Structure 1
Amino acid sequence: MHRLLFGLFCAIVVAGCQRYGHTVKQVPDAPANASTVTNYADSTITLPAGVHYKRGALHTFFYGKHYRPVWYTPVTVKVLDIGTAYGGLKPVQMGGSRQTISLRTETANGTEYVLRSIDKEPAGALSPGLQKSYIANIARDATSATHPYAALALPHMAKAVGIYHTSPELVYVPHDPRLGKFTQTIGGTVVLMERRPDGNQQDNPDMGNAEKVKSTRSMLTERLSDNDTKVDARNYLRARLFDMLIGDWSRHEDNWRWAELKHDKKAYTYRPVPRDRDNVFYKLHDAPIPWITRLFNYKPHFRTYRTHIGNLKKLNYNARHLDALILAELEQNDWKEVADSVKTALTDEVIETAFRKMPDNIYTLSAGPIIAKLKHHRDHLNQIAEDYYAILAKEAIVVGSDKHEQFIVKPLNDKEIQVQVYKINKDKEVEDLLFERTYTASQTDELILYGLDGDDQFVLEGEATPSLKISIWGGDGADTYTATYKKKITNRICITDSTYGNEYEVGDRAKVKPNDNIRAKDFSGSGWLLHFYLD
């Protein structure tokens, strides 16, 4: 028995240790005439996206079929002519992560287009000592779990659903001397070329004709420093429900950009622009080795795209902090309305038309099963929305800003608590209503309020006894706390703030925990940024 197990182990290792000279370039070596400037307009080339993912039967059995046939099937691709594309493109600088070749280019009027390699080098994220190891080889091979042409199917659906989007185009970058110093790095590579979601997009309706498109860091800095700044929560929810429909588990903060739209003379509303759709329709756990990694809970948010969507908490792990902050204002009925709208917009015709944007032979090879799963998810979107709403509602947060706010916390009865947040001016006069939501004990275990900086007012009022836990973190500034509850409920309301400059008029109606060493994440807007993964 031991010999059998040992033999099996050796077979697995041997299968996984088949080496290949991995490069994200489809044509690593420049042709003999590469030094000559060539007019590539209307030229095409036929080649596979990743012939190295074609492996033997033993390897495929243990490590998975994934999307290997899609990777090694040749497709006909348009050749990029940088002299004529979009009126002519000038190479600017290399970018991207350690896993992707990425080149930024710009037109004569400054509009930027980015070229991102369709193949990846995940071993680039490993330490130098591991980059030539068995682990690196398996990490490279796991790229075959992604669908190289999936991003082409998304813009048509995103437009139908009503969310901003990029519009990638599949092109081959030749060894073109007009690339200059970048020729050796990116020449010979199949890429997705798209307009870079950044800066001025006034001529681009796909990004809201926004004068500015900003990073998540910039958006959050504005949101947390100024209570005149808003994020369009309903539109963000549309985008997030679409993420779940297509199984995109990689929605961390750097995979978003934000269109800045004025809603009055001094205030802005931000709407999301999703980008980097590398991990949609993912197919990893279809063989023994991937299943073993799943059993050991390694990278549990790497989610295989199945008919049943599975664990929503794990699927949405990378988006958890943005979701908790931005979706806080939406009540359950808002989720239902948005889910109904997305479901209605994503018709069978829209879905099927979208997948026709893939190369014809790739559509024939792979689209059918994906479309069937997507339609199933669409048909069950209301349940998906209800389930994820319930996950976020368990521990609900309300986050102020570095300006002055008044928080009114009022139990309506023993099951419901209403929270209102008002803008107050420097003279402590109440102005606009910024936030209002009612929480129920059946959905929410704990309600957490963060005042951040500014001179905030926390008013605890009402006659009912709240049946859920309430935590208040005042943050920086000179805050005041007033409690007029009729009953003593100290065990359910806890206030944490410093001993400096704050006024506590709560008697025995709330528990006060003075703390002069509050962590930065609970103290101010700049500290709250530490909650997020930001570039």
Structure 2
Amino acid sequence: MVHKTAVSINKTLQVHRLLFGLLFALLMSSCQRYPHTVKQVATAPANAGTITNYSDSTITLAAGMHYKRGTLHTLLYGKHYRQAWYTPVPVKVLDIGTAHGGLTPAKMGGSRQTISLRAYNPDSIEYVLRSIDKEPAGALSPRWQKSYVANIARDATSATHPYAALVLPDMAKAIGIYHTTPEIVYIPHDPRLGKFTEQVGGTVALLERRPAGNQQDNPYMGHARKVKSTRSMLTERLSDNDTRVDARNYLRARLFDMLIGDWSRHEDNWRWAELEPEDKAYLYRPVPRDRDNVFYKLHDAPIPWITRLLRFKPHFRTYRRNVPDLAKLNYNARHLDALILAELNQQDWQEIADSVKTALTDEVIENAFKAMPDTIYKLTAAPIVAKVKHHRNNLHKLAQEYYGILAKQAIVVGSDKHEQFVIKPLNKKEVQVQVFKTTKQGQVKELLFDRTYHADDTKELILYGLDGNDQFLLSGEDINPIKISIWGGDGEDTYSTATEKKKKGKRICITDTTYGNNYKTGKAARVKLDDNQRAKDFTGSGWLLHFYLD
């Protein structure tokens, strides 16, 4: 057995050496480097300083002429959406003095990959201009930014569709999720940009209302009195059990993500509409943003294929008729999904999938794509529309599969307030978990969470009490059919069993400290005392370490 394992390892190493050698050879045989800028017009025209009004002006230009590469390069690195990038289209010229009542530039923002300018209109409504082209090499060290690797990273932007964001608002509206409404504009070298002229002048960008602050006049964000960051939403959710997140609406948004192949749904790509509180409870609904990676088309040539085989950035997923690995597609959203979707059972998933499928009619999908420039629509829309419809028709299957992925290792997360967790085996296959809000003295006030888990779907269930004086009640007469881990967290917690028959609970493990906790479970659970618990399992603020937050 050892000999066979060694042979297998040697073969794997040989394959990897061969692939790396081939990749190096292809890199060296490829076309020369190209100077990269996200600007479409790098130098200001001679008369730029004399023009004071761009109203009703248009300019015809390509989003990224540098993505037009030679035959060998295209053969090795892929066609991607190159033609959409290098095809000139008419673009509205931004007149900063009149757009949305007149915009005053405020500050640069965004990541190292995107030029982004924030501006305000006279009503203090914030807008943002985000460059269509990207500079992914900006994430590399200064040394690597001058290497051929940077050249390839820049060229990989051609795997994104430059005008994809324009087609999404109508579909989002149809399925009932909040959204931004971007428009494509050209930012001229306008002296009214002031100190920002050099940084953004000459750039094709998406102009949209920024999903932040007061949106009470904005129906696309639920007339929310505040739109907050994911950090703010999670802080509210984990610190106070009066806070609610609309899990059903979030699932609608996430099914839409899968339908359009958006693999970049990490925490910073969401904002959260804070709706008017009811009974002192905040309700948050999601606002997706930064749709840069929908309809992605990367793995259509030898070099991208090799990087995929080597498992480099495995969550970069090409948009195909079939989704081969939902876990990888949703990798960036996994922590938010596990937390927010925990309360929804399989029937909820199927109901919501059916609703989304019904709302996305052929007419809605086809009309949405007409928001692209006419030339780009004719070049690219048909095959993407066909895939969107295919995913729409198979949405039940996608929902069922991803539900199964999340259900396999399910979590239930409390808050820094006081809760009672009731764990009750119903039979040899099912376990019911209920979470109640309690007073500090342990008096039950209201039901917060109620879900039944099935052993065929869920192999492990993890409960986090976080801070507060929590109670964990092991109820029911049956032996638990699912492995359960309980992390009590901070506070003075109580563990007890409600049954006289103290069966040996080999499948329930409690982890908490020796300080201030009361253990009365007998043989119903194993207790592991640990005074050096991980911060991310202990309190709400520690639990934020699970997430990628700006």
Shorter-chain TM range is over 0.9
> Are 2:522 and 1:507 aligned?
yes
Of 127, 148, 152, 2:166 maps to 152
What secondary structure is seen at the aligned counterpart in 2 of 1:423? Answer: strand
Distance 1:351 1:45 in 2: 28
Q: Which residue of 2 aligns with 1:449?
A: 463
Distance 2:281 2:21 in 1: 67
> Are 2:211 and 1:197 aligned?
yes
Residue-by-residue CA offset, 1:288-332 (whole Å, 9 max, x unaligned): 000000000110000000011220000000000000000000000
> Are 2:131 and 1:117 aligned?
yes
Distance 1:487 1:316 in 2: 41
Residue-by-residue CA offset, 1:503-534 (whole Å, 9 max, x unaligned): 00011111000000000000000000000000
Of 381, 401, 416, 1:402 maps to 416
Q: Which residue of 2 aligns with 1:474?
A: 488
Which runs of no fewer than 5 residues in structure 1 stay unpaired? none
Q: Which residue of 1 aligns with 2:539?
A: 524
Distance 1:424 1:206 in 2: 36
Residue-by-residue CA offset, 1:463-514 (whole Å, 9 max, x unaligned): 1111110100000000000023435233200000000000000111110000
Q: Which residue of 2 aligns with 1:47?
A: 61
Question: Which deviates more from structure 2 when the two are superposed, residues 95-104 or residues 32-41?
Answer: 32-41
The 5 A counterparts of 1:134-173 are: 134-173=148-187
Counterpart residue type for residue 530 of structure 1: L
Counterpart residue type for residue 524 of structure 1: T
Q: Which residue of 2 aligns with 1:489?
A: 504
> Are 2:119 and 1:105 aligned?
yes
Q: CA deviation at 1:14?
A: 4.0
Q: Which residue of 2 aligns with 1:416?
A: 430
Of 319, 322, 325, 1:308 maps to 322
Equivalent residues of 1:152, 1:357 under 8 A apart:
yes
Q: Which residue of 1 aligns with 2:472?
A: 458
- TM-score normalised by L of structure 2: 0.95
Distance 1:87 1:411 in 2: 61
Equivalent residues of 1:17, 1:137 under 8 A apart:
no
Residue-by-residue CA offset, 1:442-466 (whole Å, 9 max, x unaligned): 0000010000000000000111111
Task: Indicate how the Cα distance of structure 1 residues 265 and 483 shifts in structure 2: closer, same or farther if over 3 A, else same.
Answer: closer
The 5 A counterparts of 1:143-292 are: 143-292=157-306
Structure 1 vs Structure 2: percent identity of aligned residues? Answer: 75
Residue-by-residue CA offset, 1:362-390 (whole Å, 9 max, x unaligned): 00000000000010000000000000000
Question: Which deviates more from structure 2 when the two are superposed, residues 9-18 or residues 378-387?
Answer: 9-18
Q: CA deviation at 1:206?
A: 0.2
Equivalent residues of 2:259, 2:391 under 8 A apart:
yes
Of 72, 85, 90, 1:76 maps to 90
Equivalent residues of 2:101, 2:121 under 8 A apart:
yes
Counterpart residue type for residue 505 of structure 1: K
* RMSD of equivalent CA atoms: 1.4
Equivalent residues of 1:79, 1:172 under 8 A apart:
yes
What secondary structure is seen at the aligned counterpart in 2 of 1:491? Answer: coil
Counterpart residue type for residue 530 of structure 2: N
The 5 A counterparts of 1:271-420 are: 271-420=285-434
Task: Indicate how the Cα distance of structure 1 residues 109 and 393 shifts in structure 2: closer, same or farther if over 3 A, else same.
Answer: same
What secondary structure is seen at the aligned counterpart in 2 of 1:244? Answer: helix
Q: CA deviation at 1:426?
A: 2.2
Distance 1:447 1:348 in 2: 40
Distance 1:254 1:88 in 2: 28
Residue-by-residue CA offset, 1:78-113 (whole Å, 9 max, x unaligned): 000000001100000000000000000000110011
Q: CA deviation at 1:15?
A: 4.6
What secondary structure is seen at the aligned counterpart in 2 of 1:410? Answer: strand
Q: CA deviation at 1:358?
A: 0.3
Equivalent residues of 2:335, 2:547 under 8 A apart:
yes
Q: Which residue of 1 aligns with 2:4?
A: none
Which runs of no fewer than 5 residues in structure 2 stay unpaired? 1-18
Q: CA deviation at 1:233?
A: 0.2
Equivalent residues of 2:60, 2:91 under 8 A apart:
yes
Equivalent residues of 1:417, 1:440 under 8 A apart:
yes
Distance 2:502 2:391 in 1: 47
Equivalent residues of 1:147, 1:282 under 8 A apart:
yes
Of 35, 44, 54, 1:21 maps to 35
Q: Which residue of 1 aligns with 2:14?
A: none
Distance 2:454 2:281 in 1: 32
Question: Which deviates more from structure 2 when the two are superposed, residues 96-105 or residues 423-432?
Answer: 423-432
Task: Indicate how the Cα distance of structure 1 residues 215 and 8 shifts in structure 2: closer, same or farther if over 3 A, else same.
Answer: closer
Question: Which deviates more from structure 2 when the two are superposed, residues 507-516 or residues 32-41?
Answer: 32-41
Question: Which deviates more from structure 2 when the two are superposed, residues 483-492 or residues 108-117?
Answer: 483-492
Q: Which residue of 2 aligns with 1:533?
A: 548
Task: Indicate how the Cα distance of structure 1 residues 187 and 507 shifts in structure 2: closer, same or farther if over 3 A, else same.
Answer: same
What secondary structure is seen at the aligned counterpart in 2 of 1:447? Answer: strand
What secondary structure is seen at the aligned counterpart in 2 of 1:350? Answer: helix
Equivalent residues of 2:479, 2:505 under 8 A apart:
no
Task: Indicate how the Cα distance of structure 1 residues 7 and 379 shifts in structure 2: closer, same or farther if over 3 A, else same.
Answer: closer
Residue-by-residue CA offset, 1:20-64 (whole Å, 9 max, x unaligned): 110000000001112224210000000000000000000000000
Runs ≥4 in structure 1, deviation > 6 angstroms?
Answer: 5-11
Distance 1:16 1:91 in 2: 41
Count of residues in Structure 1 that have an aligned counterpart in Structure 2: 532
Residue-by-residue CA offset, 1:260-289 (whole Å, 9 max, x unaligned): 012414111100000000000000000000
Distance 2:261 2:27 in 1: 30
Counterpart residue type for residue 452 of structure 2: T
Q: CA deviation at 1:12?
A: 2.1
Q: CA deviation at 1:7?
A: 11
Counterpart residue type for residue 74 of structure 2: T
Counterpart residue type for residue 287 of structure 2: V
Counterpart residue type for residue 252 of structure 1: H
Equivalent residues of 2:31, 2:70 under 8 A apart:
no
Counterpart residue type for residue 45 of structure 1: I
Q: CA deviation at 1:394?
A: 0.3
Counterpart residue type for residue 519 of structure 2: Y
Question: Which deviates more from structure 2 when the two are superposed, residues 477-486 or residues 192-201?
Answer: 477-486
Counterpart residue type for residue 521 of structure 2: V
